Structure 1
Amino acid sequence: MGRREAFDDLPSARAYFAGKTLFSRFDPDCLTAYLQHGLREDGGQWRLRFDPATEISIYRSIPHTSPVPSRQLKVPLAMVRGKHSRVIMPHHGYLARRMREGEYLSMPGGHMFPLERPDETALLLKTLLARWDARSASRVTA
């Protein structure tokens, strides 16, 4: 599958992942957390905690290729895309905008923007949730 699954030590795992395009712009703390929680020690080596085939299966079924029909969604939805992502493309935002409470937003970064810009991503999520909470509260009092 092309994904290395075992490493002699954590520094070699860090070097491997940091050298991959998908991981190269990770925030250093996020890369450390990825290594701490994504690898496990096994017989003197550090191995992936997950099956790479399962990971591939997840990526092949991402929601932009099989969205829920917009009439069925009863809650707000935000599709947030890394501006330089090659997985979620700008035209996928059309699906979100068609939903009654759907919106499409773009953040600096690539497909892994939450791990590249964790503080900015957290602020965006807090802002969205506060806005949705206020909107919901105003409906209850109306």
Structure 2
Amino acid sequence: MQKLKLKVVDKVTPAGLTLKRNDHWPDRATAYTALRNNRLFKSFDQQCFDDYFAYGVQEDEKRGGVTLSIPKEVEAHIFRTVPGWWWRTPRKAPNVPAHLITAKQSHFYKQGLPQGMNKTYGINYSVVEGGHMFPLEQPEATARFVQKIINLQK
């Protein structure tokens, strides 16, 4: 996997924001409130958020309190190693059926990524309600929509 090597990588990926965010709370109740009110999680379906919280927060044995189950440094590393150029070379359509689902409030949609992928690679796309994390905002509707797309491609 290609690693982005530019010094500005933390500015052009979410890595920089990830490293700046809080990852430690004095107790589970404080963590729950802080995360639930966070912009990223605010629109999550309640069950999705509760599952995220159950598995995404753990006791912090070093500092006391609670912390994220996956350290923010690991998440930042993931953002830094996203295969950033996969869609640019080679410039040919995938050999398998592909359909992109994006959301109206997603920054990727607003920046024209789906439209560009359609123009360059012939990848069809659909736009649904919600933001970047739409599958976790509307899990049931997303599952039905994905099943519909799969059935149309059979």
Q: Same fold (TM over 0.5)?
A: yes
Pick from 15, 18, 28: which aligns with 2:33? 15
Q: How many residues align?
A: 131
8 Å Cα contact 1:77/1:96 also seen in 2 = no
- Compute the RMSD of aligned alpha carbons: 2.3
For residue 71 of structure 1, give the secondary structure of its aligned residue in structure 2: coil
Matched, 1:49 2:69: yes
Q: For the residues of structure 1 that align with 2:67 and 2:78, how far apart are their CA atoms? A: 20
Structure with larger RCO (C-alpha < 8 A, sep 6+): 2
Residues 117/53 of structure 1: CA separation in 2 closer, same or farther (3 Å cut): same
> Helix, strand or coil for the counterpart of 1:56?
helix
Superposition deviation, residue 88 in structure 1? 4.4
Q: 5+ unaligned residues in a row in structure 2: which ranges?
A: 1-18
Name 2:56's counterpart in structure 1: 38
Aligned partner of 1:96 in structure 2 is 117
* Structure 2 CA distance for partners of 1:108 and 1:99, relative to 1, 3 Å: same
- What 5-or-longer segments of structure 1 have no aligned partner? 135-142
Alpha-carbon distance, 1:105 to partner: 1.4
Does the 8 A contact of 1:78 with 1:96 survive in 2?
no
1:60 Cα deviation from its structure 2 partner? 5.1
When the two structures are superposed, what TM-score results if normalisation uses the length of structure 2?
A: 0.72
The aligned counterpart of 2:138 is 117
CA distance in structure 1 between the partners assigned to 2:115 and 2:21 by the alignment: 33
Seq. identity, % = 27
Once the two structures are overlaid, the 10-residue window that deviates more, 52-61 or 77-86, is 52-61
TM-score scaled by structure 1?
0.77
